[in-house]
A and B are shown apart, each in its own frame.
Chain A
Amino acid sequence: MSDYLHDFFDIPSDLQHSWLGLIGLHLREALLPVAAGLLLALPIAQLCVRFRWLYPPVLGVTTVLYAIPSLAFFVVLIDYTGQSELTVMIPLAVYSLVVLVPAIVDGVRSVSEETLAAATAMGFGPVRRYFQVQLPIAVPAIIAGLRVATVSSVSLVSVGMLIGNQGALGNLLHDAQIYNRPELTWNSVITTALLAIVLDALLVLVRVLLTPWMPNRPTRRRPAPALEDAAR
């Protein structure tokens, strides 16, 4: 048993990382794109709220982007960014963006007409109103979007294995095959799943801390575009 455990955590040297190192790498490759996606999604969503006509075309474009399988995305990008982490992270940032834009738009739009009118009547300018009223009230929707984006990002990083071992924990799958060590497959699958679960729980915690004003029974938000990760 202890031998098995030993083998389980014995990461082949060609990966150039310990188990913890792989986790760190995986987190970076998964979370940086989500952060980038969020940074881009906020202004895009704000434009969509401000100019209503913009939302349907933006939604159309993002849905098409979301439908591109990650592998195809990687292959196209290799010509420009080579077999690098960036090649993995760009598609993940795009997927995050696609999930987050509608989440933020719906969240900001969920602020009631009365609340907006009250804010305007109290002398809130549009900028102050956005940051002090609309965005805070959209937090639950934004975090719901972040949960979807984060979990799918964590699982998709592994696909990076296929482009020159840029898949962090996913690279274990490759090594499991070439060294015939099935325990590495288990390591990859279990660690990735745990990472996703822990990150998801952390986001729920952040949500609870940021929104003491929510009724205890949270109203269910419509999930952003259906998870099609299986297709990738």
Chain B
Amino acid sequence: MIRIESVTKRYPDGTVAVDRLSLEIPDRSITVLVGPSGCGKTTTLRMINRMVEPSEGTILLDGQDIQRQPVTTLRRSMGYVIQNAGLFQHRTIVDNIATVPRMLGWGRQKARARAAELMERVGLDAALAKRYPYQLSGGQQQRVGVARALAADPPVLLMDEPFSAVDPVVRKGLQDELLRIQDELGKTIVFVTHDIDEAIKLGTMVAVLRTGGHLAQYAPPAELLAGPADAFVEDFLGGDRGIRRLSFFPSGALELTAGPVIPLDATAEQIAAPDAPFLLVTDADGRPLGWSEPGDLAAGDIRPDRLLSHGRPFVPGTDSLRVALDCAVLSPTGWAVAVDTDGKVTGVVSQQTIGEAIRSAHAAGRAHDEVAG
């Protein structure tokens, strides 16, 4: 565990970048530092590997003052990933990744084998190994940056806005990849970003910093969205935090109905029976084809190309209430289609039912808070 204890950083010009910050960073999880530009995120991160020395206070790593060990040993036990990757432009990709193992005295062969293994882990084609950084896209360079930081298998990973210089699609891919790698490796990651959505997506814990290096709130993302500590945090979270909070509510408990679901070869009775304004037609395998009003359907002659799009389906249990609501909002009928992991329809659910689920989830959250508080 990393413990930041009442740390202050005053730069020589008098700027107080961090002001009496205390933070407990749990092991094997992602802790995100988020806040507006200039609030001291980078400074805080760099104090952990002593690229910046605190003016006051101490930082403990597994109970040991980080000042007590040689600075290079400390740094080599912490991977560091930055914006634009900061790759060595004069070294090939494998050599970039093998840098720290080589410095630790590994043989060339072993270091390169390790680099190859890491390239695979971060999703880089082995054919890129002999290339130079200028021959890679920004997203690929960033993957190399992550691989390089992981090379000597350090327990701690420090990441300073690693994904902010790539386009949103690539960024999403890199974020998903990081979560996957974290599932496999379980590092202690301190992640800096100014993007609150990224913080909420990646963080196990999120520390919101305010200009001047004050800690505004330190909480798991769901708690942050549910109860911002003050106006600053609320403002920083943005206008649609209610919607975003739904990401943390599971959709497994939604009450589905299979009534309005009929097969492509439905009989006239099957079409008339449900007494619903819309019917969802499925194919022989039970996959959704589309919506229709019962009056537009003729038994024995249902034409898939005449149906209304069924929109994106959601998977109860896997997807959140936010996804379920999104599906319902996007559906032309206002009903969301639920499928199992094979894509077979398990039922449909109305916006109204989802709304009720949201209200009861909120109520449960409040009850939990009251018990906890």
Given the complex, which residues of B lie within 8 Å of A122, measured CB to CB?
A: 75-76, 80, 99-100, 103, 148
Alpha-carbon distance between A137 and B91 when the two chains are bound, in angstroms:
10
Q: What A residues does B148 contact at CB under 8 A?
A: 118, 122
Please tell me which stretch of B82-90, B113-121, B241-249 contacts chain A, meaning at least 4 of its Cβ atoms lie within 8 angstroms of it: B82-90
Which residue in chain B gives the minimum CB-CB distance to A114? B86
Measured in the bound complex, the distance between the Cα atoms of B148 and A119 in whole Å is: 11
Is B103 within 8 A of A123, CB to CB? Answer: yes
B158 at the interface (CB under 8 A from A): yes
Interface assignment of A212: CB less than 8 Å from any CB of chain B:
yes
A118–B132 alpha-carbon span in the complex (Å): 17
CB <8 Å contact, B134 and A121:
no
Instruction: Tell me the complex Cα distance, A214–B87, Å.
Output: 14
- Does A213 have its Cβ within 8 Å of any Cβ on chain B? yes
Q: Is the interface of A mostly helix, strand, loop or mixed?
A: helix
Any A CB within 8 A of the CB of B299? no
| B59-106 contacts to A (CB < 8 Å) | 71-73, 75-76, 78, 80, 82-92, 99-100, 103
The reply on A84 being an interface residue by CB < 8 A is: no
Per the 8 Å Cβ criterion, residues 139-175 of A in contact with B are: 139
Closest to A132 in B: B88
- A177 interface residue (CB < 8 Å to B): no
Selected contact of B134 from candidates A112, A133, A215, CB within 8 Å: A215
Compute how far the CA of A35 lies from the CA of B165 in the bound complex, rounded to whole angstroms.
Answer: 42
Interchain CB contact under 8 A, B80 and A115: no
CB of A164 to closest CB in B, whole Å: 46
Check A117 against B86 for contact (C-beta < 8 Å): yes
Cα(A122)–Cα(B96), bound, Å? 11
> Chain B, 37-63, contact with A by CB distance < 8 Å: what is the 0/1 string?
000000000000101000000000000
CB contact between A211 and one of B82, B88, B90 (< 8 Å): that residue? B90
Instruction: State how many residues of chain B have any CB contact under 8 Å with chain A.
Output: 29
**Residues in A neighbouring B49, C-beta threshold 8 A:** 121
Docked-complex contact B132 and A112, CB < 8 angstroms: no
The docked-state distance in angstroms from the alpha carbon of A120 to that of B29 is: 25
User: Interface size class for chain A?
Assistant: 20 to 34
Task: Please state if B89 and A115 are interface contacts (CB–CB under 8 Å).
Answer: yes
Q: In whole angstroms, what is the CA distance A119 to B86 when docked?
A: 8
- Given known pairs A212-B132, A213-B132, A215-B134, the reply for A118 and B75 (CB within 8 Å) is no
Given contacts A114-B82, A114-B84, A114-B85, contact A121 B158 (CB under 8 A): yes
A104 to chain B, nearest CB (A): 16
Tell me, in angstroms, the Cα distance from A115 to B133 when the chains sit together. 12
Q: Is the CB of B76 within 8 A of A118?
A: no
Q: How far is the CB of A113 from chain B (nearest CB, A)?
A: 8
Contact of A118 with B82 in the complex, beta carbons under 8 Å: yes
Residues of A within 8 Å of B92, CB to CB, are 213
List of B residues within 8 angstroms of A112 by Cβ: 84, 86
| In the assembled complex, A12 has its CB within 8 A of some CB on chain B | no
A225 at interface by CB-CB < 8 Å: no
Contact of A121 among B80, B85, B132, B133 (CB under 8 A): B80
> Which residues of the partner chain A approach B80 to less than 8 Å between Cβ atoms?
117-118, 121-122
> Does A57 make an interface contact (CB < 8 A)?
no
Which residue of the partner chain, among B75, B86, B91, contacts A123 with CB atoms under 8 Å?
B75
Q: Which residues of B contact A (CB under 8 A)?
A: 49, 51, 71-73, 75-76, 78, 80, 82-92, 99-100, 103, 132-134, 145, 148, 158
- 20 extra A-B contacts, CB within 8 A, seeds A121-B82, A122-B103: A112-B84, A112-B86, A114-B84, A115-B86, A115-B87, A117-B82, A118-B86, A118-B87, A120-B51, A121-B49, A122-B75, A122-B80, A123-B72, A123-B103, A124-B103, A133-B90, A139-B90, A211-B90, A212-B132, A213-B132
A-B contact list, 15 entries, CB within 8 Å: A114-B85, A118-B145, A120-B51, A121-B80, A121-B82, A122-B99, A123-B72, A123-B73, A123-B75, A123-B100, A123-B103, A133-B90, A136-B90, A137-B88, A213-B132
